Amino acid sequence: MPIAEFKEMKKFIKNFICYVLPEFLVLSLPFLTLPITTRYFGLEEFGLIALFSLCQLPFVVLREFGVGYSLPAMWFDLDQSQRKSFLFTLLIVSLAITIISIILVSFLYEWVFVWLANDSATFVISMYPWMALSVFSQFVTPVFSHWVVIAERSSVFMRIKFLELILSNTAMVLVIVYSSKVEYVIISMSLSVMFVNCIRLLSIFPHLNYDFDRRFFSEILTIGYPIFFRSFFNQLRGQVDKVFVSSLFSVQTFALYSWSFRFYQMFNTLNGHFSKVYSPRVFQKLSKEDFDFHKINRMLFFWFYFIFLGSVLFFFLGKPLINVISNGVYLNAYPIILLFSGLCLIETAFCAVDLPITQKRKTKYILGTTIFGSLIGLLSAFLLIPEMGPIGAVLSLIISSFLIRIINSMIKFRMTRILFIELRVTPYVIAYFVAMTLHFAGLEEIVPSLLLTSMTFISLHWVVIERKSLLTLWRRLNIQ
């Protein structure tokens, strides 16, 4: 491996660890504390906490204005002083939209919470002031999260995430053990969010020029307005499953589904931070019209291999693992998580397909595919969830996600003639879903063999792709 490539790989691994480790721990620590918390709380209490988070959906929809698209599209065209003004403008826009979202929701929140939380709405309504304070503090979060990526300040991100990890989880466990009151748990969660967001704001202050630039404001709106509408449909696609489950089934069933969804969120955290490492390189190559993505494709294939391996391991080890860590409380979540692993494979297979579309500032295409996929997801949720419950909810997400990524991949290829790994890994995705279909059909004896065969083939495929690097490593080990 050449020295330059080795240094690049070393930098990639460092940034990935800095991004993913703290946030992954933030999401995984609640699972590690389950042996303690499930002694005091049952499915109903965990369901109320999950409903409190779900009821923040209206705020999430209203405050999205496309920071993740505006920053990479403009950042590399600005000098140092302009970047500081641009960041300040982004913060002001985010603050204004957050305040507007709180004002709008305040007129309707009781009706919205009754719709979202069903029989548990009274409890969630009583906690609304804490929800509003928590949401207000989060205006800095989208700007900070994308700024640390584009400015490659992974160490800042890591330190703040570790602070969030220690503060939020310590407070939650102590409150559960010593009070066993759900409302106190939610108050502690809200206070933790507010404190951490204050730290985020303080960390970004030295990198601002306090100059609201109307030109940047105009650019932000031009790039972001399709994303604002996209966010509505994206949240519709991504949250309608929870809304249907929470409104049609008991709080205990919603707790099972919400807990299963957290495994999917952990994947999203891994996948999102993985993309934060490679996406700046993709954007730089696209801006220079350098379409040699061989190294990046190797990276993407290995990432798919890692997720595929995790999915196969979960099939064999997931049920006893859930039983141990949750004292049996969440054992019925196993089949739901199993389907979520298939959704993770689809999203990994088509990762990076949006980047060329974003770089060309063609966000209207992303808006269009999101609207289409969201409507299909809404229709499938309407048909599947009443009959199949949480299993139907995951299936509706799979259908919607698959359609959106297929269409975006086709648009990307038509615009740029660029292929990432989507064609290479599709056979493995198909094999996995065949195995899951056989599993849910009751043909258990075939599934292990099919999964192990697929794992063998993808391992050989990876060895063929990395044969030069593996041979070089082998020679060096022999020399030593």
> How buried is residue 471: exposed, middle or buried, by Cβ count under 10 Å (0-12/13-18/19+)?
exposed
Both tokens of residue 204?
């970004």
The DSSP result for 297-341, as a single string, is HHHHHHHHHHHHHHHHHHHHHHHHHHHHHTTTTTGGGHHHHHHHH
> How buried is residue 224: exposed, middle or buried, by Cβ count under 10 Å (0-12/13-18/19+)?
buried
**225: Cα separation from own chain's centroid:** 22
Digit-by-digit pLDDT tens for the chain (480 residues) are 455 555 555 555 665 565 566 666 666 666 767 777 777 888 888 888 888 888 887 787 666 666 666 776 677 777 778 788 878 888 888 888 888 888 888 888 888 888 877 778 888 899 999 999 998 998 888 888 778 877 777 677 778 877 887 787 788 888 888 888 889 999 998 999 899 999 998 888 888 877 777 777 766 666 665 556 666 665 655 677 887 888 888 888 888 898 898 888 888 877 877 777 778 778 778 877 777 788 888 989 999 999 999 999 999 999 998 888 888 888 899 999 999 999 999 999 998 888 888 777 776 787 788 778 878 888 998 899 999 999 999 999 999 889 989 998 888 888 888 888 999 999 999 999 999 999 999 888 899 999 999 999 999 999 998 888 888 777 777 665
